[in-house]
Structure 1
Amino acid sequence: MSDWRHWPVLSVGFRPWFLLMLGFATLAMGLWAGVWVVGGWGAAMQGLFDGGQFDWRWHAHEMTFGVGVALVAGFLTTAAQNWTGRRAWHPAGLLLVLGIWLAARLAFLLMGASPFWPYLLSIAAELGILFVAARLILLSRQWHNLMFVLALAGIVLADALFALQRHDGGLAGIHGWLGLLPIVAMLLFIAQRVVPPFSANRLGIPPRHTGRYVAFVLGGGPLLLFVVLFAQPILPNVMPLVGATIAAVVAVTGGYALVRWWHRKVLTEPMLWLLFLGVSVVLVGLAWLAAVLAGLPAGGLDGPLHALGLGMLAVMAMGMMTRVSAGHTGRPIHLPKWLRPALVVLLAVVAGRLLLPIWPGLEPVWLALTAGGLALVYLAMLLVIGPWLVARRRSA
């Protein structure tokens, strides 16, 4: 048997992180669908079992700090390795951080969101990812990429805040979902780097970059919004309006970027329009969040926060994970035919889940269907992309 340090799955960060992210996301969304089928609102609020497992806190925490962190770890450490020319992970260090991340997920599965120590495991994994990314960026003096270090630090801070407020009724407000914003910052910042050249290469058109100011707003705006909402208890009457303004500016700037990047040929390339759609859903979430923070009758936080989550962790994830996995394993960069039925299910899930706050009435059934549908999407991605992630790179 070959040395474990030379296993293909440990050769670069995206391979094990994407594999674990898809496996855990399939399980987590399948369990969440089961909560709505078995117990409805009572189970979702109080937990499916007597121990309190799988209540809304578990769902919010694990989709953000479990699925979201694994997705970011795969993208960011692979991208930082490419930017800096330095290896991100030693196999032993990678296995250590992966093991801590897995231990945290298992602890939350077995014990729910009430005990404190699973959060320590979750934060330890995030600190490991932060150390790896910061080391690459600082050693290479790539100061323009420091935003990623700040965003990862924000995730650690948000997870710690979640842990401290896990028994506080106020967690159901914005603080329970605050960790989404650093992920938004990183993925929008990566998107403005990736989408123009990818579009140019796939469509045979000149790249349509949007410049440093757009990049600054897309990457820095969500981080500033994170800081403002984190400090909301200090000035409760002022911070929401400031946050609404920031969210609106980022949404408008992102809309300008999409128009700038757009070409009619995008519709002929599913992986491209998946990226456009994912960014669009995130921007809708930011605009919706701006309306809620401004006090407009926009239906509360459920809609905008799920728009942010679905846009990043489902739509953008399918496009970007398929692109990265195919490109880095020597496969054609296109959406495999076996993922096309999953794409139809994904679009139905996004539309159904975002319409739910507007058309209430069948919530438990509808939530079970959308959660189950998303579990099937993640499972399809795992079955298609998973074999690529554990196999050796194909020869050119």
Structure 2
Amino acid sequence: MLNIDDPNFKDPTPALFRLGFRPLFLAGAAAAALLIPLWLLVWYLPGQSPILSPSFYSPVIPIWWHPHEMLFGFAMAIVAGFLLTAVQNWTNQPGLKGWPLALVFGLWLIARVSLMLPAAVPLWLPAAADAGFLLITAAKLAQAIIKVRQWRNLGFPILLLLATLANLYSYYALYQRDMVLASTLWQGMIWWMALMITFVGGRVVPFFTAIRIKRGKPSPLPYLDWPLFTALGVLAINAVTHTLEGVALQSLLVLAGLLQLVRQARWFPHKTLKEPMLWSLHLSYLCIALALLGMALFLDNPLVERQMLHLVGVGAIGGMCLSMISRVSLGHTGRNIYAGPTMAPAFLMILIAALVRAFGPILWPDSTPTWHWLAASLWTAAFGLFLWHYTGMLSKPRLDGRPG
């Protein structure tokens, strides 16, 4: 087997397709920067631009397109890029690269573009492309994990299979024009993302923190972690089935929120205030606990529930994605993680955007459009800053000449 870290190996593959993080981090960041302002233009200024005319989304409903593309366009690109890169480190098996990686990226891109074409593109086309993107990613993860019998990581391809089913079901909801069904799927996928962040974050956040502050990494506590994973999984299922309500649902939200806080408190978050690459991870992770407890406190308030879901979406998902792609991109291109471009302003902008988007409409509902535009501007600027600093390094070979 080829040593994937062999510095003498000269890879003829174009740099952009040498490892999953390269095209998918770039694409995910570009989608983040583009899709939010585009959504607000469609929502607040419909028909004001020939590009953004109603036929622009035919046969797609804009209110379906926005959450779908933020979850399965932006966030899933980052998730797939991270997993396709991380699985190489976990298993010491070669990662996806070359034309197979270009195929995965191409399928993701086909789905994104076909949903915005000014023509009645049949929905099976983006649905098939999206499914292919996720299934090939899941298959690659499963192949590498099963080959070395690393069973503890088998949950990742399983989670991607579940996401594939949810995505296909969302296309069915669009076909049926059932926005109630679609809304429940979006809520379920937000908790799916929260579970993914909790699962991965529990590994990388304390590890990165311990190395940087030169402290021992806290050992995972199964009696703390597994009840938390279970609670988030139940919340994802309940978002679709609506089985739990009232005191039962409130208790589950409180339990999950408190478990998140106790878990994170063991990772020395107070020791990270001088390092943006660390405090950005901790603050993004904290947004999940705040959202859980906020929803529990105002259980019967639909406005608060919507805004708390946006706190997860903008703060936890958006913030964690931005922080992780900034860090991983430096490390996997042969650069010093703590001597890269200054991303602290971008991390702050994402977190402020999350607070503005979540709490502005609750506290000052009459100014909701202002909060939307302000949060969108901060979000777009944050991911734009990433693209400014990282496009060059992601599209060029590693500085040390190694593969990847």
Q: Structure 1 length as normaliser, TM-score?
A: 0.87
CA–CA separation in structure 2 for the residues paired with 1:79 and 1:305: 28
Cα offsets for 1:170-218 (capped at 9, x unmatched) = 1364323322222221221111111122111111122123323333344
Q: Is the 8 A contact 1:353 1:370 kept in 2?
A: yes
Counterpart position of 1:106: 113
Counterpart position of 2:313: 309
The within-5 A match list for 1:254-265 is 254-265=260-271
Kindly indicate whether residue 275 of structure 2 is the aligned counterpart of residue 269 of structure 1: yes
Q: 2:93 aligns with which of 86, 93, 97?
A: 86
- Provide closer, same or farther for how the CA distance between residues 137 and 111 of structure 1 changes in structure 2, counting only shifts above 3 A: farther
Q: Is the 8 A contact 1:147 1:220 kept in 2?
A: no
CA–CA separation in structure 2 for the residues paired with 1:35 and 1:364: 13
Q: 1:361 aligns with which of 366, 386, 398?
A: 366
Q: Is the 8 A contact 2:361 2:371 kept in 1?
A: no
CA–CA separation in structure 2 for the residues paired with 1:112 and 1:217: 47
Counterpart position of 2:377: 372
Look up the equivalent residue of 1:315 and give its one-letter code. Answer: G
Q: Is the 8 A contact 2:108 2:129 kept in 1?
A: yes
- Provide closer, same or farther for how the CA distance between residues 337 and 131 of structure 1 changes in structure 2, counting only shifts above 3 A: closer
Counterpart position of 1:215: 225
CA–CA separation in structure 1 for the residues paired with 2:197 and 2:337: 20
CA–CA separation in structure 1 for the residues paired with 2:287 and 2:361: 15
Q: 1:287 aligns with which of 293, 303, 306?
A: 293
Deviation of 1:243 after TM superposition, in Å, equals 4.8
CA–CA separation in structure 1 for the residues paired with 2:144 and 2:110: 26
- Provide closer, same or farther for how the CA distance between residues 90 and 328 of structure 1 changes in structure 2, counting only shifts above 3 A: closer
The within-5 A match list for 1:82-231 is 82-110=89-117, 116-117=123-124, 118-166=126-174, 167-171=177-181, 173-231=183-241
- Provide closer, same or farther for how the CA distance between residues 110 and 28 of structure 1 changes in structure 2, counting only shifts above 3 A: same
* Secondary structure class of the residue paired with 1:163: helix
* Secondary structure class of the residue paired with 1:267: coil
CA–CA separation in structure 2 for the residues paired with 1:328 and 1:129: 19
CA–CA separation in structure 1 for the residues paired with 2:288 and 2:107: 29
CA–CA separation in structure 2 for the residues paired with 1:301 and 1:113: 34
Cα offsets for 1:62-119 (capped at 9, x unmatched) = 0001111101101112111111111231422111111011000001122599952222
**Identity of matched residues, %:** 30
* Secondary structure class of the residue paired with 2:272: helix
Q: Is the 8 A contact 1:32 1:371 kept in 2?
A: no
Look up the equivalent residue of 1:125 and give its one-letter code. Answer: F
Cα offsets for 1:8-35 (capped at 9, x unmatched) = 2222211111011111211112312323
- Provide closer, same or farther for how the CA distance between residues 57 and 115 of structure 1 changes in structure 2, counting only shifts above 3 A: farther
CA–CA separation in structure 1 for the residues paired with 2:120 and 2:227: 34
Q: 2:24 aligns with which of 6, 13, 17?
A: 17
- Provide closer, same or farther for how the CA distance between residues 336 and 4 of structure 1 changes in structure 2, counting only shifts above 3 A: closer
Counterpart position of 1:250: 256
CA–CA separation in structure 2 for the residues paired with 1:178 and 1:323: 28
RMSD after superposition: 2.7
* Secondary structure class of the residue paired with 1:6: coil
Q: Structure 2 length as normaliser, TM-score?
A: 0.86
Counterpart position of 1:69: 76
Cα offsets for 1:210-240 (capped at 9, x unmatched) = 32333334444322322333333xx4xx467
Look up the equivalent residue of 1:187 and give its one-letter code. Answer: I
Counterpart position of 2:5: none
CA–CA separation in structure 2 for the residues paired with 1:209 and 1:272: 19
Look up the equivalent residue of 1:310 and give its one-letter code. Answer: V
Moved more, 77-86 or 221-230: 221-230
Look up the equivalent residue of 2:69 and give its one-letter code. Answer: E
- Provide closer, same or farther for how the CA distance between residues 227 and 351 of structure 1 changes in structure 2, counting only shifts above 3 A: closer
CA–CA separation in structure 2 for the residues paired with 1:63 and 1:382: 17
CA–CA separation in structure 2 for the residues paired with 1:328 and 1:48: 38
Look up the equivalent residue of 2:400 and give its one-letter code. Answer: S
CA–CA separation in structure 2 for the residues paired with 1:272 and 1:123: 34
Cα offsets for 1:284-320 (capped at 9, x unmatched) = 223334456xx43363432121111113332112221
- Provide closer, same or farther for how the CA distance between residues 189 and 246 of structure 1 changes in structure 2, counting only shifts above 3 A: same
* Secondary structure class of the residue paired with 2:196: helix
CA–CA separation in structure 2 for the residues paired with 1:297 and 1:330: 49
Give the number of aligned pairs. 383
Kindly indicate whether residue 318 of structure 2 is the aligned counterpart of residue 318 of structure 1: no
